[in-house]
């Protein structure tokens, strides 16, 4: 994902051939890379909280991502959506997946919701996705996949149980928790909408339009509810650069690629690995210890993802 732009059309063509040798070699690495990148989102939300208001930061972030992806699309000469329906579908997906979801997570963490609890709430998405995949998409969810989803949920809960148990219940803001739950629901609906409407869309231009939709949502929200305060310090620019180039540009392209190539419930099951990976990052970066129960939870979550992702 960080290679020269000339390589991107080969890795992510509009209709990638199933027999592509490069695609076969890279495909097994994409889910792991996606999980690591997605997990950094919760770390970034906590990292930038002292330096910028949440909606203001998200508005700057999504605008920057839209510009980067648009420039990339022009350089690649990628086709843009055709007709009003194509633009509408991409904008709706962006409002849900990049607007409400990202803004909800950043706002809730900024308002005092622990990043670990935010990750745990995000891990509930596969259950909601699996329940809606059949009535919305007509996608069959097998008993084996349900077993994997259940195992993934148990594993994620084991990883985060020590943090949740140690937290003071009175210190968890109810409004912030509700915002995070709403963000998870928006991400679920956006994933289903993307799977249903964007089968033939170009990945880069579709993602660019998505972030335009997110900007159309978050810029008015930031102007209406915040003062636009940002601290001009290196930590802010580091967090912003990471959020734009890695967590957003690389992350959303990987997510859209996974949604297109896999069953939506199986793709969503990857998010069960985000809490364990977030816990591992916290251990590496901040010295937080991991108990034997948490290590066991990581193994259970990984096994659940493997089961849920099998054909």
> pLDDT digits over 104-132, tens only?
999 998 887 877 778 778 777 777 777 77
Question: Does some domain include residue 87?
Answer: yes
Hey, how many other C-beta atoms are within 10 angstroms of the C-beta on 71? 12
Predicted TM-score (pTM) of this structure: 0.75
Please state, in angstroms and rounded to a whole number, the distance separating the CA atoms of residues 117 and 46.
12
The answer to whether 99 and 217 are in contact (CB under 8 A) is yes
User: Do 204 and 76 form a contact (C-beta atoms < 8 A)?
Assistant: yes
Q: Is residue 124 part of a domain?
A: yes
Kindly report which listed range (208-217, 239-248, 282-291) carries the lowest average pLDDT score. Answer: 282-291
Whats the size of the chain, residue-wise?
A: 311
Q: What is the mean pLDDT of residues 134-149?
A: 78
pLDDT at 165 exceeding the cut of 90: no
**What are the pLDDT digits (tens) for 52-81?**
999 999 999 999 999 999 998 999 899 998
256 within a domain of the structure (yes/no): yes
Structure tokens at 30: 């994409």
Q: Tell me the Cα Rg of the chain.
A: 19
Is 23 part of a structural domain of the chain?
A: no
Which domain range does residue 45 map to?
A: 30-309
Q: Which residue shows structure tokens 């579709």?
A: 206
For position 122, what pLDDT does the model report?
Answer: 79
* 113 within a domain of the structure (yes/no): yes
pLDDT class of 216 with cuts at 50, 70, 90: very high
Q: In angstroms, rounded to a whole number, what is the distance separating the alpha carbons of residues 122 and 101?
A: 10
Tokens describing residue 87: 């633009």
Contact 123, 164 (CB under 8 A): no
CA separation for the pair 88, 85 (Å, rounded) = 5
Name the domain count of the chain: 1
Instruction: Indicate whether 228 belongs to any domain.
Output: yes
Domain presence at residue 221: yes
User: Is 230 strand, coil or helix?
Assistant: strand
- Phi (first) and psi of residue 74, to 5 degrees: -65, -40
More reliable by pLDDT, 68 or 249? 68
Q: Classify residue 19: in a domain, yes or no.
A: no
Taking only the tens place, the pLDDT of each residue in 34-60 is 888 888 888 888 888 889 999 999 999
| pLDDT tens profile 221-243 | 999 999 988 999 999 999 999 99
């Amino acid at each position: 994902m960080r290679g020269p732009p000339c390589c991107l059309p080969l890795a992510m063509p509009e209709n990638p051939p199933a027999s592509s040798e490069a695609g076969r070699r890279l495909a097994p690495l994409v889910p792991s890379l996606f999980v690591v990148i997605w997990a950094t989102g919760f770390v970034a939300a906590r990292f930038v909280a002292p330096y910028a208001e949440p909606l203001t930061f998200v508005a700057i972030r999504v605008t920057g991502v839209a510009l980067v992806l648009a420039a990339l699309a022009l350089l690649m000469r990628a086709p843009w959506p055709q007709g009003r329906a194509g633009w509408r579908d991409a904008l709706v997906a962006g409002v849900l997946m990049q607007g409400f979801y990202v803004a909800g997570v950043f706002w809730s963490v900024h308002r005092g919701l622990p990043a670990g609890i935010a990750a745990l709430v995000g891990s509930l998405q596969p259950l909601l996705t699996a329940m809606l995949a059949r009535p919305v998409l007509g996608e069959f969810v097998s008993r084996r996949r349900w077993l994997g989803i259940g195992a993934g949920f148990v594993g994620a809960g084991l990883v985060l149980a020590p943090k949740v148990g140690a937290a003071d219940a009175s210190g968890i803001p109810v409004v912030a928790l509700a915002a995070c739950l709403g963000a998870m629901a928006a991400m679920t609906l956006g994933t289903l909408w993307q799977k249903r409407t964007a089968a033939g869309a170009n990945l880069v231009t579709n993602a660019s339009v998505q972030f335009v939709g997110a900007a159309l949502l978050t810029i008015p929200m930031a102007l209406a509810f915040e003062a636009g305060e940002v601290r001009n310090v290196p930590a802010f620019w580091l967090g912003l650069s990471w959020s734009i180039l890695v967590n957003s540009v690389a992350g959303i392209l990987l997510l859209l690629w996974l949604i297109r190539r896999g069953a939506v419930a199986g793709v969503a099951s990857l998010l069960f690995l985000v809490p364990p990976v977030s816990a591992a990052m916290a251990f590496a970066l901040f010295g937080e210890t991991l108990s034997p129960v948490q290590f066991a939870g990581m193994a259970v979550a990984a096994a659940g993802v493997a089961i849920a992702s099998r054909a």
